[in-house]
Structure formats: structure tokens, C-alpha cells
A and B are shown apart, each in its own frame.
Chain A
């Protein structure tokens, strides 16, 4: 049988569509929709969760994320500048820090900050879950974002800082008025990705323990699931996470596209 390449690809497409439809039908018939509906999409349980899932769960998740991100960004900026410093001990410190905290599970860092430090020094970070958790996550996020910022700084052509220095600007002024503004244009998309990762990482705060008022979205859903003996709270939490993260990932895509256009 002699087929042209167009005919071949047509047959291939039809086969793929057919198989997909078959699998969808099989799942549709085999699944117990009644059980699924009662356990994952139970409207009574859903109704019970409101408004606390928003006023406590989502609210805390956003607050924890915002503070972790802000602290992490400041830390990352300091680390990136140290990493690019001409002073060797600064560079060594920054490299060691970055490799250490990128190499550890965030959970270890959180437990260390939440329990290791209080056990060792009989002192805990003030601010409860918010303070401890945000600092723990910021320590980790700072390591990741430092590398992003460094790459952004290095992407700014050397002639830019030479021009600034030739006008008599100090190294600091050159960095903050000429280099960083250009670097941040490049790194806003990857930083937004980092923000999305942080939103999800706040779910690790459960390990620090919580009061009814300090639960973030995942912990709130998990406890509600135990109380209601139903999995619907997980579905609701998942949907709320997506409502927060999807606009951000769309934003990233748009920013990347406009950045590509301006280049």
C-alpha cells in the first residue's frame, strides 16, 4: 500500500481521536458517578465550608505567601549581590547558602526553624505560625530567587554599567538605578513562577501546628475532611488554589510574550 505522507498523517490522527474517545467512554461507564459525586462534590459539605474556607483558609494562604515572598525577595537580592561581589568571602557565603537551601526539602527547613531553633536556644521566632513559617519559607525561596536575580543582573549588557560609571555614578547607584531596573524586567516572569510555587509551599505550614484562626487552605481542608468524613473539602481547596494560581500563570505567559516582543 502506497500512501502519501498527508494520507498517513490523516490516518494517524483518526486513530488517535478514536482511541481517546474509547478511553473516555470506558472511564465514563466504569466509574461510579454516584460515589464520586457524594464524596468529592457534596454540595452540603461545600456549603458548610463557607465562608471560613475563604475568610480563614484562603486569607491565611495569601498572607503567608505575601510575607514569605517579600522577605525572600529581599534576602535573594542581598544574596545575588553577594554572589556577584568582588569580595571572595561574600561570594563563598552566597554560593554555600544557595546550594545548601536548594538542596534541602523545604519541610526540613521549616521544622528546623519551627522546632530546632526553639529546642536549641529556648527562643522561638515571634509572630506564631505567620512569623515562623514565613521566615522558614523565605529562607528557602531566597536561595532560589537569588539565582534568578543573579541571572537577570548578568543579562544586562556590561556597557550599561560602564556608561553609568562613566557619568560618575558609584557602584551602588549604578546597580540600583541602571542595572536592577533592567534586570527585573527580564526576571519578572520567573519570579512570578516562584510566587506560584510559594503559594503551594505554604501548605507545609501544617507541620508547625495551628490554631483554628491560623490554618491555611490545605490544613483547613484536611481538618474539615476529618470532621465531615468526606473528601469534598479537598476538591474545594483545590479549586480555591487554582483560582489564585491560574491568573498568575496566565500573567506570566503574557509577560513573557511581551518581553519577547520588546526584544
Chain B
């Protein structure tokens, strides 16, 4: 399937561009030829049934997962190249996990500075200042000295977003950021993400929150069985899906 966007050639202005990506775990083919892109300042929500390969696609983009074949270009630069500077690449791509993955042996403030001082070699003062700003931005200034275990799930996820933002990434990947949260805590995380989208952050969000996708996404990508089945504006994909598979999935989600 080719991208509907005519700009989709190598070296283009896409923030993220994925070309014919395959990924197998042993015999199991999880990604069966994905073509996908995210434009700068665009918010793309990836939806689909579990096991459809959404998270694997997202994890391939910062090479937490190694693809089997195909190309991934970040701002035109091929990162599947064996010589690619993976560590450098990852500082440019913020990632938020389903399980938050805050460092439990460090205070919130240290969680936010450890990457800045260790990887980006910022001074302690500068790192602390940026951490304070980002923590304020997610509304948790008063929690700087707490340890992650003392925070609610929603607060932990907001800290995790702030931690990623401290690296001043060019784009953000969200891997089911609200799936591990109690229902009443989902809103505060989505609010932070909505704010980011409004500021023009490039975002790829794997999610089951259809309401959020409908409201915030510029484009929705529906995946199933390791391929992109349908993509387009939320009003098309979510409200008037063309394919049977998308219709079935969305009906099931709506029933819940």
C-alpha cells in the first residue's frame, strides 16, 4: 500500500517515514510490509486490535526493536543503517511507555536530569532548570523530591512525559500511554498530551482512546494483521471506515 501523501519519497520532509517494513519474531510475522509516515507537527494516532503490530511498529522507530527488512527514515536519515548513531537518534525521539518505566531508585527530579547530564552533557544547573520547567508543564512542580513509588499512575505517566520532554526531542512516541491507568486517571495524562499537540509537537500515539484520537489526531492509521488497513482524517477512519476490518474493530470498541 502506498502512502496517500505524494511527498512520500526518501529524503522528504517527513519527520518519520517507514518504507516496506517487515518484522518477524521467529516464525511469526508481526509487521508484514508497513508504509507509514508522520509529517512535522502532525499528530498521528495508530489504532487497531491487540496483536496487530502497532506497538512493534512504534518500537522499531527508535530501534528498541530491530526490524527484519525495510527502511525507517527520521527526517530523511536512514536509521536502519548498521552504522546509524542509535544513541544520538534516541535523544531526538522522546518515548513514553505503557508501564511508565520511571527509575524507582531516583527522585522525580533525578529522573528528569539523569539523561540530560549523562547523555546530553548539560550542566547540572541547566538540567535542573529544564527539569523544573517541564515538571511545571505537566503540573507536578510540588513532586520534584518525591520518589516515583509515592505517585499515582497518572502522575507517574506525567513525570515520564516530562522526562522525555527534558531531552528537547523533535518528536514523541507514545506506546499505549493510558492503558495501564485506572479510568479516573486517564484524563490528566490525555490533557498533557493534548497540550503538547497544541504546541505543535510531532506525535505518534498508539492508543485505544478513540475519543482522544477523534479530537486530537490529524490523521488516524488503522492497523490489523501487521499491515496498514486504512488511514486518513479521524472523521473518515473512525466515523466512516471503508474496510470491513476497521468497521468490525470500531464496533467492538464502541460496544465496550
* Interface positions of A (Cβ within 8 A of B): 157, 159-160, 162-170, 173, 177-178, 181-182, 185
* Interface positions of B (Cβ within 8 A of A): 62, 64, 87-91, 93-95, 97, 99, 101-105, 114-115, 118-120, 160, 163-164, 167
Majority SS at the chain A contact face = helix
Assembled-state Cα–Cα distance A166/B93 (Å): 8
Given known pairs A168-B119, A169-B115, the reply for A162 and B64 (CB within 8 Å) is yes
Q: Contact at B105–A167, with CB atoms within 8 Å? A: no
| Min CB–CB distance A263 → chain B (angstroms) | 10
A-B pairs with beta carbons under 8 Å apart, 30 shown: A157-B99, A157-B101, A159-B99, A160-B101, A162-B97, A163-B95, A163-B160, A164-B115, A165-B64, A165-B87, A165-B90, A166-B62, A166-B64, A166-B90, A166-B93, A166-B164, A167-B90, A167-B91, A167-B114, A167-B119, A167-B164, A168-B90, A168-B115, A168-B119, A169-B118, A170-B87, A177-B114, A178-B103, A181-B105, A182-B104
Assembled-state Cα–Cα distance A162/B102 (Å): 11
- Lowest 7 CB-CB distances: which A-B pairs, in order? A167-B115, A168-B91, A163-B101, A166-B95, A159-B101, A168-B119, A168-B90
| Min CB–CB distance B88 → chain A (angstroms) | 7
Which chain B positions have C-beta within 8 A of A159? 97, 99, 101
Assembled-state Cα–Cα distance A167/B119 (Å): 8
Q: Contact at A169–B101, with CB atoms within 8 Å? A: no
Which chain A positions have C-beta within 8 A of B105? 181-182, 185
Assembled-state Cα–Cα distance A168/B119 (Å): 6
Which chain B positions have C-beta within 8 A of A181? 105
| Min CB–CB distance B54 → chain A (angstroms) | 17
Which chain B positions have C-beta within 8 A of A185? 105
